[in-house]
């Protein structure tokens, strides 16, 4: 039997490289399509896959490539932090790029798994937040993710695009870089490991539903293999919220255990960042029911794995 051919845009990024490793372990034939403008380059990718350097703004290149695969996972993105300095470019890549990805998929009748973001919801109006929670973005990045979904849906309605939308909540874990806006874990690690106080922007009472990246990519994978997922939108979260203050405390405790040293660092607080989400807590009952999704790595375990990985990659 021929192996199923998959293309992953943004496959060299944090979540993309985990997804590619998972798909590779399941025996899929993979093409990574990435312009390498960000991410970790090729170093976290398996050796036996095909890598094509290219932008999701290059429609003709995508149209040709997408004709050779059964499914496209769209993870190419410019990050939240860039939406403060260069919002025009973030809108161009995240929105116009998704429009072109959707169009190239529709033209080729290729299935699209579009990776959106919980950022699109903005701060929780109610919790837990199900997929019907209104999309009320508070940053240009979040707006770009919300409207990227609208383009996917437009092609579904007007061109019968076969698609699934997944909305991961903040993901963390191995391969994570410090340049991400919400990258509290790498930033805390950086300071705690140098015996410096972790810095929190705002009161520290803002919450996130932190999801280990292995659970995130498992959720994305389930949305791809389950035919009942087609046409759906799915939250991929841990289904638990934690304050950023508590997260810093857990990281101090876990680093202290790991290094076998007593660490007593007061948290440093700085001015709140504009547009920062105040509360996130995902409802995963729909994903549980339709996809059979179940998060497996709790926060303490995920933090331990991250610290272990960081200590080995210095």
Nearer to ligand NAD, 16 or 265 (CB): 16
- Shortest distance in whole angstroms from residue 32 CB to ligand NAD: 9
DSSP element (H, E) containing 108: helix 97-108
What tokens were used for 107? 């033209």
Report the b/e string of 234-253 with b at 16+ CB within 10 A. bbbbbbbbbbbbebbbbbbe
**For 278, phi and psi rounded to 5 degrees?**
-90, -35
- Shortest distance in whole angstroms from residue 58 CB to ligand NAD: 8
CA–CA separation, 192 and 170 (whole Å)? 21
- Shortest distance in whole angstroms from residue 115 CB to ligand NAD: 4
145 binds ligand NAD (CB under 6 A): yes
- 115-134 residues in contact with ligand NAD (CB under 6 A) are 115, 117-118
12 binds ligand NAD (CB under 6 A): yes
- Shortest distance in whole angstroms from residue 67 CB to ligand NAD: 18
Which residues lie below 8 Å from residue 224, measured CB to CB, with a gap of 6+?
Answer: 71, 73, 111, 113, 164
Peptide bond connecting 128 to the previous residue in cis, omega within 30 degrees of 0:
yes
CA–CA separation, 269 and 252 (whole Å)? 16
- 41-100 residues in contact with ligand NAD (CB under 6 A) are 55-57, 75-79, 93, 97
Nearer to ligand NAD, 102 or 170 (CB): 170
Kindly list the residues in this chain that would bind ligand NAD in the complex (CB under 6 A).
9-10, 12-16, 34-39, 55-57, 75-79, 93, 97, 115, 117-118, 145, 168, 170-171
């Amino acid at each position: 039997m021929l192996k199923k051919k998959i293309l992953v845009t943004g496959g060299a990024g944090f979540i993309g490289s985990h997804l590619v490793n998972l798909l590779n372990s399941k025996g899929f034939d993979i093409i990574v399509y990435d312009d390498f403008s960000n991410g970790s380059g090729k170093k976290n990718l398996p050796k036996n896959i095909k890598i094509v350097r290219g932008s999701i703004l290059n429609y003709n290149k995508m149209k040709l490539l997408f004709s050779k695969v059964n499914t496209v996972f769209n993870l190419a993105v410019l990050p939240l932090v860039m939406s403060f300095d260069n919002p025009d470019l973030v809108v161009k890549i995240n929105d116009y790029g998704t429009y072109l990805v959707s169009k190239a998929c529709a033209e080729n009748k290729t299935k699209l798994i579009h990776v959106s973001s919980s950022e699109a919801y903005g701060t929780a109006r109610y919790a837990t937040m199900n997929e019907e929670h209104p999309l009320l973005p508070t940053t240009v990045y979040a707006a770009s993710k919300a409207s990227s979904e609208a383009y996917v849906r437009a092609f579904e309605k007007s061109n019968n695009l076969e698609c699934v939308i997944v909305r991961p909540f903040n993901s963390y874990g191995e391969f994570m870089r410090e340049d991400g806006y919400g990258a509290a874990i790498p930033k805390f690690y950086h300071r705690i490991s140098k015996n410096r106080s972790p810095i929190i922007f705002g009161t520290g009472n803002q919450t996130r539903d932190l999801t280990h990246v292995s659970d995130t990519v498992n959720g994305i994978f389930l949305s791809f293999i389950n035919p009942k997922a087609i046409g759906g939108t799915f939250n991929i979260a841990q289904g638990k919220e934690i304050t950023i203050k508590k997260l810093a405390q857990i990281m101090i405790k876990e680093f202290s255990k790991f290094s076998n040293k007593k660490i007593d660092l007061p948290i440093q607080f700085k001015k709140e960042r504009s547009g920062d989400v105040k509360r996130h807590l995902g409802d995963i009952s729909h994903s549980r029911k339709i996809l059979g999704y179940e998060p497996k790595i709790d926060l303490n375990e995920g933090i331990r794995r991250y610290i272990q990985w960081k200590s080995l990659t210095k």
